Amino acid sequence: MNAIQSLPGAHEPRMHPVNSQTNPIQGRVVWSPIKSLWFTAHAFLALIGGWFTFSLDAVLVSFVFTLLTLCLGHTVGLHRLLVHRSFRCPLWLEYALVHLGTLVGMGGPHRILHMHDIRDWAQRQPKCHPFYTDQGPVWRDWFWQTHAELKLEHPPAFTIEPQVAHDPVYRWMQRTWMLQQLPWALLLYAFGSWAWVVWGISVRIVVSLTGHWFIGYLAHNGSRRDWHLQGHAVQGYNLPHLGLITMGEGWHNNHHAYPESAKLGLKRHHHDPGWWFICLLKGLGLAWDIQTPETLPPRIERQAIPEKRSVRPRAATFFTL
């Protein structure tokens, strides 16, 4: 099989074709023991422990901790900063934000870079494996994303930039990404006993991982689109009523159109808490070189869809194979 032909700008800088056979199509989905057991263990603790330790203060702690890790950590620290380098900040602050993102429970910084970039690389090609499209039956996609991984037969080479790959703090974060929950668990136990630990750690992780998967599923299965990316196997969709609760990540069509932009909510009514926090950092002198659509170079494959809606119902996939 010949290598697929990508449009200019359709590549990921950390992903490099190995030879003419490199492609995101041929591969098999296999069970991932670490990924699956991690999710299953916390789901068990959340369901059983959460039932026996339920209290309003524990729920409130879990809610606030979830917001902080998803907003400051995942969307700002991991996604907009570490992955896309859409702004710059002091290194100590970068470490703190990435640590909060690691607490979401998807993996360490090196793993997050690989998971994100190989998915983006695949989605930007003319065709890719269904594992990367988020458009199959909902039960299958949930299982794939929380318990499995795709082993490509001819994957691209993955190269992390030296300042991250060789950074001792990031190397430590990668090795200890599970253990980083422990200091927070001890702190929660000191202030609220086991109820705060169960709700602040296990319930939060299960809610965050499930929510991250489900928003991604919705954002690739139809709603509002203002942009079309020619030649891409997967199009992102904006989720107009979920911008606030997703910390701005619900504006996924905007993100597909301008992936290096720190601002995901591009219109006045697009609620984007992640962008608000970056603006706060800028006001405090803690963020600079902030990228927005106005500062980014043009992409020839990006085409505006003025005042149109693109809707693709997916209800049938809940039950079909």
Per-residue pLDDT of 101-129, as tens digits, reads 999 999 999 999 999 999 999 999 999 99
At residue 317, the pLDDT reads 45
The residues spanned by each domain of the chain are: 15-295
Question: For 270-295, what is each residue's pLDDT tens digit?
Answer: 999 999 999 999 999 999 999 999 99
Q: State how far the Cα of 61 lies from the Cα of 185, in Å rounded to an integer.
A: 12
> If phi over 0 gives left and psi between -120 and 50 gives alpha, with beta otherwise, what is residue 152?
beta
Question: pTM here?
Answer: 0.92
pLDDT on residue 177: 98
Contact assessment for residue 261 and residue 291, using Cβ atoms and an 8 Å cutoff:
yes
The predicted structure's pLDDT at residue 66: 98
Token readout for 219 is 């954002």
* Segments of the chain assigned E as strands: 15-16, 27-31, 148-152, 157-158, 227-229, 302-304
Which pLDDT does position 98 carry in this prediction?
98
pLDDT of residue 7: 40
Q: What is the DSSP string of 36-64?
A: HHHHHHHHHIIIIIHHHT--HHHHHHHHH
Low-confidence ranges of the chain (pLDDT < 70): 1-11, 308-321
Q: With H, G, I as helix, E, B as strand and everything else as coil, classify residue 288.
A: strand
43-65 confidence digits (pLDDT tens): 999 999 999 999 999 999 999 99
Rounded to the nearest 10°, the torsion over CA 227, 69, 67, 116 is 20
Q: What is the pLDDT of residue 307?
A: 72
Structure tokens at 33: 């023991």
* 73/173 Cα distance (integer angstroms): 14
